[in-house]
A and B are shown apart, each in its own frame.
Chain A
Amino acid sequence: MSESIIFYVLALFLIGGASGMITARRTIFSAASFMLAMIALAGMFALLNQSFLFLAQLLVAVGAIITLSMLVIVSVNISERYIPKEPHLGRDLLLGVVIAAPIVALIITALRTHFAASFAPIPDTFGTLASIGATLFASWVLPFELISLLLLAALIGAVVISRKGERS
């Protein structure tokens, strides 16, 4: 029962944050709403017994990525005149909803028909750091190494791209 209440509260935050993010005219408000949604998402992970994911989401997504984004937003110091005017925002959002609705409907239909309606029984250790670590290094070593390569490439790429813009 309490889980249900937590779920709905978190869902409210998630959807509210996401909606606020795409509707806010000021960039910094968007970023703040987005951070709210990301934190609520971490809560959702906790509800799903994914304790390690909960931690990772909080540390990486919220602590690193969102913070970095806000840092960038603040550091480029965008004043009012650089923010796009977007005079038809309402109309555009409506268009977006119209286009997205069938896609969402299709995904929901697919998920409803192909997945069980209840959770499987799980051991107590499910989702803990030790358990995830064992799985990761037992059967996911190669993807894990590839991800490290990807991160390295992204690191170098980010440096190159931002320096290129500096020179011009």
Chain B
Amino acid sequence: MSPLHFLLLGTLLFGIGLVGVIARRNLFVVYMSIELMLSAVNLLLATFSRIRGDEGGAVLSLLLIAVIAAEAAIFLAMIIALFRAKRSIDAHDFTQLSQEHNA
């Protein structure tokens, strides 16, 4: 079991999360893809910590879990708000950043 396996796995997970963010329109899936990417980073941090024998990496990973929790709280609240506003969880329905849809 070399560390490289863990690093490869973490990067692959990150890539899968990226693909999810790019490809999916379902807000829930987008949200979970972001969670996946964060978790992939978490795995990498834990691996680094193990490679160096330094527990700082593990602490950082722990703090990251807290960040993930905070992000989840905000994201879910937003999904609820968006769903209430438009009765939709399709990312394509929310285009208010562009000028023409503002009016």
Q: Which residues of A contact B (CB under 8 A)?
A: 3-4, 7, 11, 14-15, 18-19, 21-22, 24, 27, 30-31, 34, 37-38, 41, 44-45, 47-50, 52-53, 56-57, 60-61, 64-65, 68-69, 72-73, 76, 78, 82-84, 86, 89, 92-93, 95-97, 99-101, 103-104, 107-108, 111-112, 115-122, 126-127, 131-132, 135-136, 139-140, 143-144, 147, 150-151, 153-155, 157-159, 161-162, 164-166, 168
Summarize A's interface: helix, strand, loop or mixed: helix
Q: A53-B62, A61-B68 are in contact. List 6 more A-B contacts (CB 8 A).
A: A96-B18, A119-B50, A127-B55, A132-B55, A132-B62, A154-B74
Cα distance A61–B46 in the bound complex, in angstroms: 15
Distance of B53 from chain A, by nearest CB (Å): 4
- With A30-B28, A103-B18, A162-B80 already in contact, the answer to whether A7 and B55 are too (CB < 8 A) is no
Tally of chain B residues near chain A (CB < 8 A): 77
Chain A residues with Cβ below 8 Å from B36 are 18, 21, 34, 37
* CB proximity of B35 to chain A, nearest CB, Å: 7
On chain B, the residues within 8 Å of A84 by CB distance are 25-26, 88-92
Which residue on B lies nearest to A6, using beta carbons? B1
Please tell me if the beta carbons of B13 and A69 are within 8 angstroms of each other in the complex: no
Chain A residues whose C-beta falls within 8 Å of the C-beta of B60 in the assembled complex: 140, 143
Residue of A nearest to B57 (CB): A50
In the assembled complex, the CB of B13 is this many whole angstroms from the nearest CB of chain A, namely 6
B101 interfacial contact with A, CB 8 Å: no
